[in-house]
Structure formats: structure tokens, C-alpha cells
Amino acid sequence: MGKVFEHITDDLQEFIGQQPIFFVATAPLDADGHVNLSPKGYNVFRILSPNRVAYLDVTGSGNETSAHLLENGRITFMFCAFVGAPKILRLYGQGQVILPNMREWDDLSPHFMLLPGTRQIIVAEIDRVQTSCGFAVPLMDYVGERDTLIKWAETKGDEALVNYRREKNQQSIDALPTPLHSLYGE
């Protein structure tokens, strides 16, 4: 059954590395605001230390995680075993957004293969690591990554991506600003 850890152990790091998908959850402080839960693929998750993680975030239709982190910093990551022994792993912490124009970008970006449409890096200090059984998680076969988002970003091009982010990524669905708002000055 479930266990709580103070940090990401070597075994848990190995488990994370085997998962082709992870989930990110954030929420605004306002109880009427919308909780966000996003699946992530493309092998973009990195463990920087036993209590520090990051992932490369690419342009999407929304930017909820970014807005919630700017407002309150709370973030949870979840990894599920869809093959092999059942397990769920959650990492709880405080996150922040690192944009390409920030000093921290130069330290963090070398950990990733920058993808077309790269928007930001989400970094988090982890204060709770918890496993649970995962007995009800279905067994599934991994077929591969979808190339749709990468092709979309390549076709759009850098200038059009900036315009897209200006239009679609500067605030959450609850009208909270994202860090991109300060980048674009609008």
C-alpha cells in the first residue's frame, strides 16, 4: 500500500523514468476557480535533485498551470504504472515558471531537448513524495508519442507561435494572469 517519503528515492526515480506519461495538477485559490489537470508526454520530465524537478512545457491551447503557479505555487505531479506492477506516485510541491528571457533558463534548458513550440519550463521544489497502490489503474500498451503538436508548432513558425501565445496563453480560464503576460507586456 501507500508510503510517504521525504524525497524522491532511487527506486522512485527509476519508476518515473519508465513512465511515458505524467499528469500535472494545479488549482487557483478561489474555490470557484477551475482545477487543472494536464497529461504530459514527450519525455520532458527531469529530476534535478531528490527534492527538485522540472519539465519542459510546450505551447498549448491554455496555460492554466502557469497562471496557478504565479498565483499560489501549488503543484502536484502524478505518475501511474500502466504496465507491470501497479503503482501510483504523487509529488507535491511548490512550483514556478521559468521563461526563456529569465536568468534561470540558461541553467535549466540544457537538461532538455528543446521541442518546437517550447514555451516555458516548470520547476518545482518537492516537499512530499507519496505512493499508492494503483490496483484500479488499467493495463495499457504504449504505442508511441503523437507528433501532432510538434508538427503544428513547426508549421506555425516562431512568429505565429508568439502571436498565438499572446492571444491564448496570457491568462487562465478564470482570468488569472500568467507569467507570459509580463513577457508580452499586454
What is the spatial distance between Cα 109 and Cα 6, in angstroms, rounded to a whole number? 26
Confidence band (pLDDT; 50, 70, 90) for 184?
A: confident
Q: Minimal CA–CA distance to 38: which of 173, 184, 128? A: 173
pTM assigned to the model = 0.96
Confidence band (pLDDT; 50, 70, 90) for 183?
A: confident
Structure confidence at residue 186 (pLDDT): 56
Q: How many CB atoms lie within 10 A of CB 17?
A: 12
Confidence band (pLDDT; 50, 70, 90) for 115?
A: very high
Q: Minimal CA–CA distance to 76: which of 24, 2, 13? A: 24
- Look at the block and give the residue holding cell 498565438: 164
The 10s digit of each residue's pLDDT in 24-83 is: 999 999 999 999 999 999 999 999 999 999 999 999 999 999 999 999 999 999 999 999
What does the radius of gyration of the chain's CA atoms come to, in whole angstroms? 17
Give the residues across from 54 on adjacent strands: 46, 123
Share of the chain above pLDDT 90, in %: 96
The 10s digit of each residue's pLDDT in 12-37 is: 999 999 999 999 999 999 999 999 99
CATH superfamily of 4-136+144-184: Electron Transport, Fmn-binding Protein; Chain A (2.30.110.10)
Check if the beta carbon of residue 71 is closer than 8 Å to that of residue 176.
yes
Check if the beta carbon of residue 122 is closer than 8 Å to that of residue 55.
yes
Structure confidence at residue 185 (pLDDT): 67
